[in-house]
Chains A and B, each alone.
Chain A
Amino acid sequence: MAAPMSNENQHIVSSPDSFPVRTKQCAVEINNHKTELLCSQFGDRTFLVVTQYNKVGTLVSVTNARVTDATGATASMPNIDVLMGNDQPMTHVVARNLITQIPLSKPILLSIALKDNSPKTVKAIAKILPTLM
């Protein structure tokens, strides 16, 4: 295992520029759990992997839903669909919190396999994810 590192940009592994899909990844140790983070920027979707088991775990699709209220004002809200895995309220809560820092310009395909669901861990991951975009 590598020594603790300081500058996060140095530790992001990127796919070659000649490849049409840009993939960036990094791994962090959060609360004694090794967390692998990966982001592939496809044309129609952003594919994110957040895993502490090195497995896909639960696959969630996050789309941007435009909600219009009684006054006619529109607001955008993430709409979460569990494609595979356990569809529990906790999955929705974690997914929603993970993508708080990510623009919802295109749908997100999110794979979540966390040993540690604590708010502290999820917030720490959510903070790192935008650096992979």
Chain B
Amino acid sequence: MKVKVPNLENVLGMLRTKIFSWYKMAEEPSGVTFVQPELTVHTFRDKILNQDIYFQVIKLHESFIIWFGKSEKLGDLSVAMATLKGMVSAANLIGGMESHSVALAERLSKKTGKQVFIGGDMNSFDQLQYPLVEKRIMEEMTKHPEQF
């Protein structure tokens, strides 16, 4: 009786492919699944003193980041947060301490009790526009409180 001997090469080849696929499976970053984002990005625009101004609000946990500008420039960045009762401390991160973003962050943080980041190309605004921009942000806060 003749017994069919399996080709050794074939068996080895199959084994190799099997081991390679196991190895590949192990190399895949485990447990990376896409889920629904929780951070919300809210954008709006308005004409202030005949100029288009764009606003973007990123809502985070107990904090938010507001950017506003006339162009796509990030510009300055400041942060403010409530510390003790009624006290707010603010600091500039990009742009210099005399940047208008510091004072604005301070006021918004006092109002909301949250950590506030303000970004914007402050040099592109004139003196008359700052209070109007701030008013517009306050308006949006009362209109869409869930976005802040």
Binding site for B on A (CB under 8 A): 1-2, 4-5, 8, 11, 13, 15-16, 19-21, 23, 25-32, 34, 36, 38, 40-45, 47, 49, 51, 53-56, 59, 61, 83-84, 109, 120, 123-124, 127-128
Binding site for A on B (CB under 8 A): 29-39, 41, 43, 45, 54, 56, 58, 60-63, 65, 67, 69, 71-75, 77, 79, 91, 93-94, 115, 117, 119
SS class of chain B's interface: helix, strand, loop or mixed? strand
Which of B33, B60, B71, B117 touches A43 (beta carbons < 8 Å)?
A: B71
B58 touches A38 (CB 8 A): yes
- Show 23 A/B contacts (Cβ-Cβ < 8 Å), sorted by A: A4-B33, A4-B35, A15-B41, A15-B56, A16-B43, A19-B45, A21-B54, A21-B67, A27-B34, A28-B34, A28-B35, A29-B32, A34-B35, A42-B72, A42-B74, A43-B73, A44-B75, A49-B39, A53-B61, A83-B93, A84-B79, A84-B91, A127-B29
